[in-house]
Structure 1
């Protein structure tokens, strides 16, 4: 079994009287594709926002590669190798697709960021759009620019929040092939409603419901779990 790259223990986030995330224990194994699923309002986005440092937990701990990062801000976690793409696009609309990705690459502080930006745009299948203003691209292509920005950071952990939202079927297939190609080299946490894609890509799945962990396991076990079927999958 692969070593654990990230672990959360007792992770909790309250907003007033609401417990959006309630005492969740969670492990990510190095090099795996791990999916996080659950009904709307289950706490998925709050949970990954805690992992990437966008918000601070009310209680609990997070460790990344053995280091306590519970109170580290998001930008410090990026430097450690954690990249997070948002559920809603977070590009610079007035800049070109290439400039968006090059800016992300520059955050590594190393040379060759322009070459890396071009290579990543090619990898996600939108090299032809490199010179286009990002704000003028289709929503699906804007999502691909954002994924390219995440990849340009050369992360050890890539968190993808609803990455296929707005993508055409052919683009979803290309995305799946991209993620399969990344497997092993980076750990990927995928928050996704497309269950066919989740079942295709994920080695393990965690199900949240009401801010708590309802189930966790291999895709076939999750698909057969009565509690998961009742809360989310239906039937």
Structure 2
């Protein structure tokens, strides 16, 4: 098995009496697609908020590539290779498609135009570079957000509900895209579409009520009685 790129231990975040994340352990391996699933309210988005630094944790440790990043702010984690695309599109609607991605590319040295167009080409949007981002179809906005994440050259790319609102043809394109990201990057995929999860992921972690219910391969998760009862049904 590949080396661990991110190791989280005992991550905890409570909101009042709600234990959104309650002592979660998670290991992500270099070059894998790892899915995070669970029912609504299981704590998935809070967990990736803790990993990305957008939500402060109350306890636990996060090690990225051997470095303790537990107390680093979100922008410092981006600089160390964590990119997070949101459950709801977070593009700059009034800017062009090109300028949205260029904002991410400028974090790195090199040719701004070439780097921007290369990121857009990876998601199939280079022909729309001059269009205002807010006028894109929803599915294209989601792909633009992924291009913005790719432009950061992440070691770890977190995709939060990326296929939400996509048509079947767009989902097929998305799956091809994600497969092409590894092994150069590790992908953490938060997704409700179980066909997408089972097709893409090498490993799956199931959250339920803020805790890890199970971790394993797709076959192991499918066969797990506790997962079937809590989430998959049957």
| TM-score normalised to structure 2 length | 0.98
| Native 8 Å contact 1:56 1:70 kept in 2 | no
**Once superposed, what is the RMSD of the aligned Cα atoms?**
0.8
Asked whether 1:50 is paired with 2:41, we answer no
Pick which of 162-171 and 31-40 moved more. Answer: 162-171
Supply the distance in 2 between the matched residues of 1:93 and 1:5 (Cα, whole angstroms). Answer: 34
**Local SS of the residue matching 1:23:** strand
Match of 1:144 in 2: 143
Match of 2:33 in 1: 33
**Local SS of the residue matching 1:60:** strand
Match of 1:118 in 2: 117
1:182 offset after TM fit, Å?
1.3
- Residues 26-78 of structure 1, C-alpha deviation per residue, up to 9 Å, x if partnerless? 10011111000000000000000000000110111111011110110010001
Match of 1:85 in 2: 85
| Structure 1 segments (4+ residues) deviating >2 Å | none
Match of 2:196 in 1: 197
Supply the distance in 2 between the matched residues of 1:74 and 1:165 (Cα, whole angstroms). Answer: 24
1:120 offset after TM fit, Å?
1.3
| Native 8 Å contact 1:105 1:153 kept in 2 | yes
1:102 offset after TM fit, Å?
0.7
- Residues 72-131 of structure 1, C-alpha deviation per residue, up to 9 Å, x if partnerless? 0010001001100000111100001111001111122x1212211111111101222211
For structure 2, the 5+ residue unaligned runs are: none
Supply the distance in 1 between the matched residues of 2:107 and 2:63 (Cα, whole angstroms). Answer: 22
**Local SS of the residue matching 2:229:** helix
Match of 1:99 in 2: 99
Supply the distance in 2 between the matched residues of 1:107 and 1:93 (Cα, whole angstroms). Answer: 20
The within-5 A match list for 1:1-235 is: 1-108=1-108, 110-235=109-234
| TM-score normalised to structure 1 length | 0.98
| Native 8 Å contact 1:9 1:24 kept in 2 | yes
For structure 1, the 5+ residue unaligned runs are: none
| Native 8 Å contact 1:207 1:215 kept in 2 | yes
Supply the distance in 2 between the matched residues of 1:224 and 1:169 (Cα, whole angstroms). Answer: 27
**Local SS of the residue matching 2:130:** coil
